[in-house]
Amino acid sequence: MPQKVVIESPGSPELKQTLAFLKERLSVPAGVAVSMSTSSPGATIQLLLNKAPDNTLGTEGYRLSITPNNIVIKSNQPAGLFYGVQTLLQLFPKEIENKSVVKNVKWEAPCVEITDYPRFGWRGLMFDVSRHFFTKEDVKEYIDEMVRYKYNLLHLHLTDDEGWRIEIKSLPNLTKVGAWNVKKIGNFGSFAPPLPDEPRDYGGFYTQKDIQELVQYAKDRFVNIMPEIDVPGHSLAAIASYPELSCTPGAENYRVRSGEKIMDWTSPKLKALVDNTLCPANEKVYDFLDKVLTEVAKLFPFEYIHMGGDECAKNFWEQSKEVKALMQKEGLKDMEEVQSYFEKRLEKIVESKGKKFMGWDEILEGGLAPSAVVMGWRGMKGGIEAAKMKHEVVMSPTTYAYIDYMQGDPAIEPQVYATLRLSKAYQFEPLPEGVEARYIKGGQANLWTEQVYNIRHAQYMTWPRGFAIAESLWSPKNKKNWKDFFSRVEKHFERFDIMELKFAPSVYEPIIEVSRTSDKKLKVDLSTEVEGLDIYYTFDNTFPDRFYPKYSRPLVVPPEALMLKLVTYKGKEQKGRLISIPAWELNNRADKKK
């Protein structure tokens, strides 16, 4: 790279952030002088908008040409130039991610010709800022990370039982009361109920000015922000703020949840222990939602508003005189039709604000207006069913895209109810066989944050699985290859190390299967997601390294052993973290398999 770099670009205001980002990356670590021009035929780097549309590229594609003399990125729209810049910077040495000058680096990129454009238009990440509050600066940081991998949609889950995170000026209690709970740390869902005198000072919310700032910040990086107001279930924060929204007597005693148990997940039908639902038979609820959506619609220019609709427990509705009267009046046969009645009224409110209605796939139950867009989450089934009913669908299945799931062995991950490894996430195919492509808008990964307390852990949960989902949404299906993908993931691990951006190394750690032999002894089978790793182990509570026994066949646990310790190496380099599993835990796992 020359000591002076000239960047030629159109004088488009939309490219201001693109140019600032490119200039920073070239000038800070490489220490070169960077100047800008709107007309410089001899420029080192040219960002050019096509005078005649290139139909291959669409609105987000680009052509990147690197020769010994210069670099040219062409696109139809500014978004394509932005994505072309992201690819260009990935072609330079990893040291370009440094935040200070780096010496003795050859600042070279390979000579290539690249034509690149996305497979799907909807490439999203959902960030749950309700279970734990993330600051405005945290959200900006998350946006900065996602755009490097060409995500263009941030779905903000703004309301839930644990907090209401957006200022609604006509309903001040939503943030005065609903944005705060008692701080608890540990295993979410099993906390003791807070005591009456414990301070409710944990949480926060975004002012309307904050939201406007975030929307503009995202727009400058070609990201839309979609708000989610989750109703009629998941509404305890709203009910604690305005108890009259509930069907259930005593709601004035409800408080914003801190992570104590409020659902019986073992019941055949979802059963709430506390009524966290808005009352579908109360006209005040629809007035409330009209006020909320009037203000939300003005804040978010994106065409969709997500209205939740998931996991609505109906056992309190079944006991409500008002709901029974509504059923009789409207001829509703069951509780699914009651929710459908609610969703259809809600959809009309959303549409009255000039927006399109979206919800989780439960909104299909009991019937749904044809214009509603469905986000399929309960495996692939919900999305497939919605598409066959001719609804537009965004695929975000638990099977591949729930990045709140554990990434590796529970012994070393914050425990939640399921595991999603990188190799499984990479199998995500948004367009299933037998489904018409026109109904699949794209897909997204979802980061729920019950067990995610801060932005560092949000990074850990998102990357590298965010790479897998990004590639499935951008790249052609026939170009996907796990071995090639992971070789590139490792290169980005090196970049993240330089950036000090946290990621999960779980892919390097062993997959552990525990069973029993015919004579009831514990047997441990070990495998790895990626090739070339050796697993070393001990049962004597010492710390294994590559000079300890190497795994080659299933292990039979010595009857008096107290601890299994495992570590992986690639040659002489330790790759995985040390995993320690007590013998009692091995016994528990074996017994669960029966």
Residue 122: name the closest of 447, 399, 375 by CA.
375
Q: Which of 473, 499, 525 delimits the end of a domain?
A: 499
Looking at the fold, whether 260 and 199 belong to one and the same domain comes out as yes
Residue 110 within any structural domain of the chain: yes
Tell me 574's DSSP state.
E
Q: Give every strand in the sheet of 511-516, ordered side by side.
A: 511-516, 522-527, 555-556
Residue 553 within any structural domain of the chain: yes
SS3 label, residue 394 = strand
Cβ contacts of residue 467 below 8 Å, gap of 6+?
149, 485, 488, 489, 492
* 311 catalytic per annotation: yes
Given the residues 14, 95, 295, 311, the one annotated as active site: 311
CA torsion sign, 279 to 285 to 290 to 295? negative
Please tell me the total count of domains within the chain. 3
pLDDT at 464: 98
Residue 161: name the closest of 285, 258, 249 by CA.
258
Q: Which of 116, 151, 166 delimits the end of a domain?
A: 116
Give whole-number Cα distances, 34 to 3, 12, 472, 481, in Å.
Answer: 9, 18, 35, 38
Looking at the fold, whether 460 and 385 belong to one and the same domain comes out as yes
Amino acid at 278: L
Tokens representing residue 424 in the block: 């499984």
Given the residues 132, 155, 234, 492, the one annotated as active site: 234
Looking at the fold, whether 490 and 469 belong to one and the same domain comes out as yes
Cβ contacts of residue 24 below 8 Å, gap of 6+?
none
pLDDT at 156: 98
Tokens representing residue 541 in the block: 């509570």
Amino acid at 136: K
**Rounded CA separation 40/439 (Å):** 44
Looking at the fold, whether 68 and 182 belong to one and the same domain comes out as no
Per-residue pLDDT of the chain (594 residues; tens, 9 = 90+): 677 899 999 988 999 999 999 999 999 999 999 999 888 878 999 999 999 999 999 999 999 999 999 999 999 999 999 999 999 999 999 999 999 999 999 999 999 999 999 999 999 999 999 999 999 999 999 999 999 999 999 999 999 999 999 999 999 999 999 999 999 998 899 999 999 999 999 999 999 999 999 999 999 999 999 999 999 999 999 999 999 999 999 999 999 999 999 999 988 889 999 999 999 999 999 999 999 999 999 999 999 999 999 999 999 999 999 999 999 999 999 999 999 999 999 999 999 999 999 999 988 887 776 788 999 999 999 899 999 999 999 999 999 999 999 999 999 998 898 999 999 999 999 999 999 999 999 999 999 999 999 999 999 999 999 999 999 999 999 999 999 999 999 999 999 999 999 999 999 999 999 999 999 999 999 999 999 999 999 999 999 999 999 999 999 999 999 999 999 999 999 999 999 999 999 999 998 876
Residue 313 belongs to domain spanning: 122-499
Given the residues 8, 160, 347, 361, the one annotated as active site: 160
Residue 504 within any structural domain of the chain: no
CA torsion sign, 131 to 137 to 140 to 144? negative
**Rounded CA separation 429/442 (Å):** 10
> CB–CB of 425/465 below 8 Å?
yes
Report the CATH number that the domain containing residue 415 is assigned in CATH: 3.20.20.80
* 252 catalytic per annotation: no
Looking at the fold, whether 9 and 157 belong to one and the same domain comes out as no
Looking at the fold, whether 48 and 99 belong to one and the same domain comes out as yes
Looking at the fold, whether 84 and 191 belong to one and the same domain comes out as no
Residue 57 within any structural domain of the chain: yes
Report the CATH number that the domain containing residue 80 is assigned in CATH: 3.30.379.10
Looking at the fold, whether 180 and 194 belong to one and the same domain comes out as yes
Looking at the fold, whether 197 and 98 belong to one and the same domain comes out as no
Cβ contacts of residue 296 below 8 Å, gap of 6+?
166, 168, 227, 229, 305, 353
Looking at the fold, whether 323 and 393 belong to one and the same domain comes out as yes
Looking at the fold, whether 344 and 273 belong to one and the same domain comes out as yes
Looking at the fold, whether 48 and 96 belong to one and the same domain comes out as yes
Report the CATH number that the domain containing residue 547 is assigned in CATH: 2.60.40
* 160 catalytic per annotation: yes
Tell me 17's DSSP state.
H
Residue 88 within any structural domain of the chain: yes
Q: Which of 466, 499, 532 delimits the end of a domain?
A: 499
Residue 401 within any structural domain of the chain: yes
pLDDT at 364: 83
